[in-house]
């Protein structure tokens, strides 16, 4: 049973290295999807918001990682 737990943890770790990055990306996708579907935001604008939002999330994650590596 312990081996299965280790394998699943490694499998999840391959896709979710930074939990905050994954969570923020999911929240961004949900918010933009809701905006496009519920308030009739143009899909092209929704795509632009996804691009800008994902880049901002990625830059924040890289900044936090760089700050954390300097402390070591």
* Residue 9 domain flag: no
Structure tokens at 52: 């800008």
Decide if 26 is inside a domain.
yes
With bands split at pLDDT 50, 70 and 90, how would you rate the model's confidence at 71? low
pTM for this predicted structure? 0.73
Please state, in angstroms and rounded to a whole number, the distance separating the CA atoms of residues 65 and 45: 30
Question: What is the structure's pLDDT at 70?
Answer: 67
- pLDDT tens across 10-66, in order? 877 776 667 788 889 999 999 999 999 999 999 999 999 999 999 999 999 889 888
- Domain range enclosing 37: 17-70
In a domain, 3, yes or no: no
Residue 67 has a pLDDT of: 86
In a domain, 6, yes or no: no
Q: Is residue 39 part of a domain?
A: yes
In a domain, 32, yes or no: yes
| Domain count for the chain | 1
- Asked whether residue 31 is domain-assigned, the answer is yes
Structural domain includes residue 42: yes
Is residue 27 within 8 Å of 19, Cβ to Cβ? Answer: no
């Amino acid at each position: 049973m312990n081996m299965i737990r280790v394998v699943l943890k490694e499998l999840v770790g391959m896709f979710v290295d930074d939990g905050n990055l994954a969570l923020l990306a999911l929240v961004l996708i949900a918010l933009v999807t809701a905006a496009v579907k519920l308030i009739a935001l143009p899909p092209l604008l929704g795509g632009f918001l996804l691009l800008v939002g994902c880049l901002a999330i990625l830059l924040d994650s890289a900044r936090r990682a760089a700050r954390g590596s300097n402390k070591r």
